[in-house]
Amino acid sequence: MLISVSGFPFADDESEPPPPPDDLGRAGAKAWRDLTAGWVFDAAGLITLAQLCRSLDLEDRLQKIVAKAEKLHCRGSRMNDVELPELASLIKVRQQSAQIQARLKLDADDSADDTFGMDVSAKARRAARSRWDRRFSGIA
């Protein structure tokens, strides 16, 4: 069964990863595929993941503009040198992406043996990672 959350559909069963939102670019779509293949997200997590993917798309676009620029400064309205506006925006978007990623709590550290004190989504992520690892290690 497909459910619509924040403008994109996802299946409420965990048999396959949810499809990405339609408005994602190449960087965001790749991040969506990579993250939904190995992690289980609840509805709120999917919304946050979509925000991260859109932020990564914007970061990619700004990075291309900055990379093509001959200088990192341009002429301001008073004919003075000012920082390239896209550079400042790129820095802000990178900070935003890092904050969103931190909210998703995508730590690769599964070294703790007990699950005491872990929230439900952390337990679900650990279980999904365990299933994923068993699936591709030849253990049935």
| Boundaries of every domain in the chain | 2-105
Q: Average pLDDT, whole number, for the chain?
A: 77
Residue with tokens 């859109």: 54
pLDDT band at 113 (very low <50, low <70, confident <90, very high): very low
* Residue 140 scores a pLDDT above 50: no
Q: Which two tokens stand for residue 81?
A: 């040198």
The answer, yes or no, to whether residue 135 has pLDDT greater than 60, is yes
CB 8 within 8 A of CB 25: no
pLDDT of res. 13: 54
Q: What pairing do the DSSP bridges indicate for beta strands 8-11 and 73-75?
A: unpaired
**Is this structure's pTM higher than 0.85?**
no
CA 123 – CA 42 distance, rounded (Å)? 12
Distance of CA 28 to the CA centre of its chain: 7
- Express each pLDDT in 3-19 by its tens digit: 555 555 555 555 678 88
